[in-house]
């Protein structure tokens, strides 16, 4: 068994070596190179109870998908979610394309969005951009309970089955539901289990470097799971110890997940258990060989979110509770990475004291690759939620790591809670805002300057980037 799996890994690595590799979090990043629109997914006056997975709507605006032209800062098209669809509260969304052969109608673009009422909403992007409104909605597909995260799995640069997939995670059931792009009659594979005993909130990591394997987390269990994404089953997992067994390897649950191309390691944020003396941290896993092996638990990187940078050079750990961003650099395979930079989100950590005119507490990250080869890291801010726009976002260029100890704060819009979505696209970066109005705050990706704010329907929940026309960027090896 071990020999067979080792051979499979080797074959995948040889195949991957001949193709273009790029860091992926959502699965639609390449489309951000084209001109297009930021799409604000708004809840209107609908709300959700995460604990029960139920949704409801009050009097007031219905949910929408609002297409914002970043040049004019105006909503130029909108998809209304009419009452016949019932309550809709958005979770993650992704833009995907079908890769139709020439002569078969060309590539087509779609938005697939999880909504908290256990459905996936499928929208024809071209019809939405053309202003066809409700008619742009193709269908809704029932899925597992309490969905949050979704991921686009395209052609993997020519590998795979010739059709893209969207994997949506059901927190209530602890599995992934899979939809094949362009085939809207049903979910298309058996549910992909992502837990051992206790289902919970989790994420998925995939990369063409890792194909056909992906990796998943679960906040309810001390595990990291490996999944064969071609055969839709769990292959291996690693169980972390209790604090009493080994405090340096204690991990009560896993959440954020990232991958380093430099050493081939997997990184997962790890929750501790204070009643047993455990500490939060970042577990670093070596996936080579017949077993997943813990390399190190980094207690200096104790936040709940972790990402790989778009150029693959950095592992970025976001520590919202301590108002910090931690940057790790990979060492050789099998060796522990190094925490090399710790950057404060706000000056003197003023966000921790909710001081006036202070932005801080980093939530999510977006990357903008610069012409000189460096990377701008943009972080949505979730504090102090002062309703005056002081939260805004923060950014730092990779060349300034080691010389700047604080993110540059760009003011313009305030969030309304602990979650604040952010996306890059078309040379810009957008984050959701609730004050001084609902909508999007948009900055220039190269300079970090505020370009403006766009007013949308109320209850902005998520933002994605959609090209003005299908790009085909995932449809070949080019």
Tell me the CATH number at 276.
Answer: 2.130.10.10
Query: How many domains does one find in the chain?
Result: 1
* Inside any domain, residue 303: yes
* Inside any domain, residue 235: yes
* Inside any domain, residue 244: yes
* Inside any domain, residue 379: no
Our CA angle for 51, 57, 62, nearest 5°, is 125
What tokens appear for 142 in the block?
């029932």
Q: What is the pLDDT of residue 276?
A: 63
* Inside any domain, residue 67: no
Task: Evaluate whether 133 touches 125 at the Cβ level (below 8 Å).
Answer: no
Task: Evaluate whether 267 touches 283 at the Cβ level (below 8 Å).
Answer: yes
Domain extent for 291? 197-344
What tokens appear for 100 in the block?
């139709």
Q: Going along 125-174, which residue ranges are E strands?
A: 137-142, 147-153, 165-170
* Inside any domain, residue 19: no
Kindly give the parts of the chain with pLDDT less than 70: 1-24, 101-105, 155-162, 274-277, 476-478
Q: What is the pLDDT of residue 346?
A: 96
What tokens appear for 14 in the block?
């040889």
Q: What is the pLDDT of residue 241?
A: 84
* Inside any domain, residue 61: no
Mean residue pLDDT of the chain comes to 90
Provide the Cα torsion 297, 311, 367, 462; round to 10°: -70
Residues in CB range of 71: below 8 A, 6 or more apart: none
Q: What is the pLDDT of residue 436?
A: 95
Residues in CB range of 221: below 8 A, 6 or more apart: 195, 196, 197, 198, 200, 253, 254
* Inside any domain, residue 232: yes
């Amino acid at each position: 068994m071990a020999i067979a799996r080792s051979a499979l890994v080797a074959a995948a690595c040889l195949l991957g070596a001949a193709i273009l590799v790029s860091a992926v979090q959502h699965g639609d990043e390449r489309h951000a190179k084209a001109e297009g629109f930021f799409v604000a997914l708004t809840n209107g006056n609908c709300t959700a109870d995460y604990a029960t997975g139920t949704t409801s709507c009050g009097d007031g605006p219905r949910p929408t998908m609002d297409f914002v032209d970043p040049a004019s800062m105006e909503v130029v098209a909108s998809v209304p979610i009419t009452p016949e669809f019932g309550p809709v509260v958005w979770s993650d969304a992704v833009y995907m394309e079908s890769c139709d052969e020439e002569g078969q109608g060309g590539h087509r673009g779609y938005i697939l969005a999880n909504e908290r009422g256990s459905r996936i909403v499928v929208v024809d992007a071209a019809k939405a951009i053309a202003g066809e409104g409700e008619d742009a909605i193709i269908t809704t597909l029932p899925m597992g309970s309490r969905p949050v995260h979704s991921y686009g799995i395209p052609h993997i640069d020519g590998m795979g089955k010739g059709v893209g997939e969207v994997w949506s995670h059901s927190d209530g059931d602890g599995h992934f539901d899979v939809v094949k792009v362009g085939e809207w009659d049903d979910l298309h594979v058996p549910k992909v289990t992502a837990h051992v005993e206790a289902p919970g909130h989790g994420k998925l990591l995939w990369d063409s470097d890792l194909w056909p394997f992906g990796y998943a987390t679960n906040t309810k269990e001390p595990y990291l799971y490996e999944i064969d994404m071609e055969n839709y089953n769990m292959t291996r997992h690693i169980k972390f110890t209790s604090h009493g067994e080994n405090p340096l390897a204690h991990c009560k649950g896993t959440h954020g997940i990232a991958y380093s191309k430099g050493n081939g390691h997997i990184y997962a944020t790890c929750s501790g258990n204070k009643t047993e003396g455990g500490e939060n941290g970042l577990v670093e896993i070596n996936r080579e060989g017949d077993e997943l092996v813990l390399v190190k638990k980094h207690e200096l990187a104790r936040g709940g979110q972790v990402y790989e940078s778009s150029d693959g050079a950095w592992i970025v750990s976001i520590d919202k509770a301590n108002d910090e961003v931690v940057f790790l650099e990979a060492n050789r395979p099998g060796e522990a990475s190094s925490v090399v930079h710790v950057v404060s989100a706000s000056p003197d950590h003023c966000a921790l004291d909710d001081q006036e005119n202070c932005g801080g507490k980093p939530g999510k990250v977006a990357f903008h690759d610069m012409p000189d080869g460096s990377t701008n890291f943009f972080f949505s801010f979730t504090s102090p939620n002062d309703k005056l726009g002081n939260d805004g976002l923060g950014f730092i260029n990779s060349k300034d790591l080691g010389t700047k100890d604080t993110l540059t704060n760009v003011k313009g819009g305030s969030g309304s809670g602990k979650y604040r979505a952010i996306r890059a696209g078309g040379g810009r970066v957008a984050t959701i805002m609730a004050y001084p109005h609902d909508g999007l705050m948009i900055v220039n990706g190269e300079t970090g300057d505020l370009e403006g704010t766009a007013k949308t329907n109320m209850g902005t929940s998520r933002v994605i980037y959609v090209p003005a026309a299908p790009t085909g960027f995932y449809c070949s090896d080019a």
